[in-house]
A and B are shown apart, each in its own frame.
Chain A
Amino acid sequence: MGQNSGVNNASNNRKYLVSATIDAFFLGIYNVCRFIGRVFKEVFVPPYEFKEIIKQCYDVGYRSLALVSLTGFITGIVFTKQSRPSLSEFGATSWLPSLIGIAIIRALAPLITALIAAGKVGSNIGAELGSMRVTEQIDAMEVSATNPFKFLVVSRVIATTLMVPLLVLYTGLVGMLGSYLNVNTNEATSFTAFFKDAFTSISFLDISASLIKAVVYGFTIGVTGCYQGYNATKGTAGVGRAANAAVVVSMFLVFLEEIIIVQVVNYIRPLL
């Protein structure tokens, strides 16, 4: 039977190559790679589920705005308040806008947004698809000759990949706004002066690296949530496990990707 047929071939008295755990680990990696490969393949093959993609973009993007706004705003204020004493020791509080600009655009906005998305969106995707799997709704889609992978997985991965970068930009702006309010209250810096100082210190590389990070994080969160949910087993407990694993694995991968991308960007920066 074809590899994309959705047939569950789990069966039989297996003989293990090394041990059950090690075999399962490598089999898991193989299955994840196959899952990602299928996502890339199905993205470019018509028919396209535009209506579902728009619905998912709304769920991932618009419905995360409140949480992202609050977190971004508070992060901006708190980071500014915590940085001021250190800078004032050197009489360098005028550097606050630059420091905040660099910190928020380079690191805080992508990372905070990704972690929020992993918690809110990742768990939602994991639980929703997991629930559909254990209640046989995905099987019902398969037997009605439709393609649940395209409808459920591809649409969600596209939505997270598109929406997380937009949320990162939004978080950055809201964070800067929060920071400005604090700086304005304490140092009476004008709006124009604050944002001029902040953006002067930010390079094109900083913004593009942030957006690339956001795209990678969005894709990771979408794929992880979908993989865990789509392959959920063992009833309602399995749904809980899928939602939990979607969050934990997404967050772990986001941190790992952050380290790798920062290393790469820091290597590129002097060359430009």
Chain B
Amino acid sequence: MKEQLPRADKNNIVISVSGLVKSFGQLQVLKNVSLDVYKGENLVVLGRSGSGKSVLIKIIAGLLAPDEGTVNVLGNEVNKLDFKGLQAYRRRIGFLFQSSALYDSMTVRENLEFPLVRNKRNLSMKEVKEAVEGVLESVGLPDSINKIPSELSGGQRKRIGIARTLILHPEIMLYDEPTAGLDPITCVEINHLINKVQKEYNATSVIITHDLTCAKETGDSVAILYEGQFIERGSFEEVFKTSNTIVRQFYDYNFTTTK
């Protein structure tokens, strides 16, 4: 369990989502969602599959446009940015996809170099090499540099995915289901890595998951998204002390035997 962060003041809000609505056809996925994330905080968004978690994080990253509402991140009104503004904004954020989304025709080295050489064009070959090796060292996979993604395990892919985002030193990390499909031991390793990123890179993180162990290990605060709306927000203990049956059910299915 993580130590509680002191409640940050309003000036330290780095992600502010307000009145967010998003529909796909007839299906309304997000219904008036509002959320604040403080600098240096790891916020875990918990919810069942289809509750709108991934849509929320993609809107924050500017990959989807909301139908209504505003998303203000690091002082940028994300849905009003033009192409150049969006690129400048994205240099300050990192996004780990659920599938890791490594470029499968490239080696690990090329995967890591890809964003770096295109965003920092004045770097020498030596500096690029050092940056790639440094970031691989920090995710604990220095020997995988010449492998291609198909030669990596699920956990290794997640680590390389995290390394690829860290190489640009993001201020905000967005994790989409970082432990999905991994064995319990690898899950613990990924949780430790998320906490390490928070400490070493001083990054603010939004972690989308339905894994309560991940939420407990990595989250400074937890928000429960249910049918497109937040129904609880607080520390892990605060949230799961609730008498709300939906939240209790979520906890019980994860932590108690249901046979």
Contact = CB atoms under 8 A, between A and B. Distances in A.
Partners in one complex: yes
Interface of A: 1-13, 47, 128, 132, 135-137, 139-147
B61 interface: yes
A205 to B, nearest CB: 42
B201 interface: no
Chief secondary structure at chain A's binding surface? loop
Interface stretch (B44-52, B87-95, B183-191): B87-95
Interface of B: 22-26, 61-65, 67, 79-88, 90-91, 93-95, 97, 99, 101-105, 114-115, 118-119, 121, 164-165, 168
A145 B26 contact: no
B86 A1 contact: yes
Most chain B beta-carbon neighbours within 10 Å: one of A1, A13, A143, A147: A143
B168 A145 contact: yes
A148 B104 CA distance: 15
Given A2-B81, A140-B95, A146-B115, A8 B64 contact: yes
B125 to A, nearest CB: 14
Given A6-B63, A146-B118, A137 B82 contact: no
Nearest to A136: B101
A264 B122 CA distance: 49
A199 B119 CA distance: 52
A2 B86 contact: yes
A144 B65 contact: no
B67 A11 contact: yes
A109 B72 CA distance: 57
A5 B62 contact: yes
Contacts of B90: 142-145
Contact of A140 (B26, B88, B103): B103
B97 A144 contact: no
B119 A145 contact: yes
Most chain B beta-carbon neighbours within 10 Å: one of A1, A3, A4: A1
A158 B238 CA distance: 58
Given A4-B83, A144-B165, A146-B119, A136 B24 contact: no
Given A12-B67, A135-B101, A143-B63, A2 B83 contact: yes
Contact of B65 (A8, A136, A139, A147): A8
Contacts of A139: 63, 97, 101
Given A1-B79, A146-B119, A9 B65 contact: yes
Contacts of B65: 1, 7-9, 11
A6 B25 CA distance: 20
A11 B95 contact: no
A145 B64 CA distance: 15
Given A5-B62, A7-B63, A137-B104, 19 more contacts: A1-B80, A1-B86, A5-B86, A6-B86, A8-B65, A10-B24, A11-B24, A12-B23, A12-B67, A13-B26, A135-B104, A139-B63, A139-B101, A140-B101, A140-B103, A145-B87, A145-B91, A145-B119, A145-B168
Contacts of B64: 7-9
A37 to B, nearest CB: 14
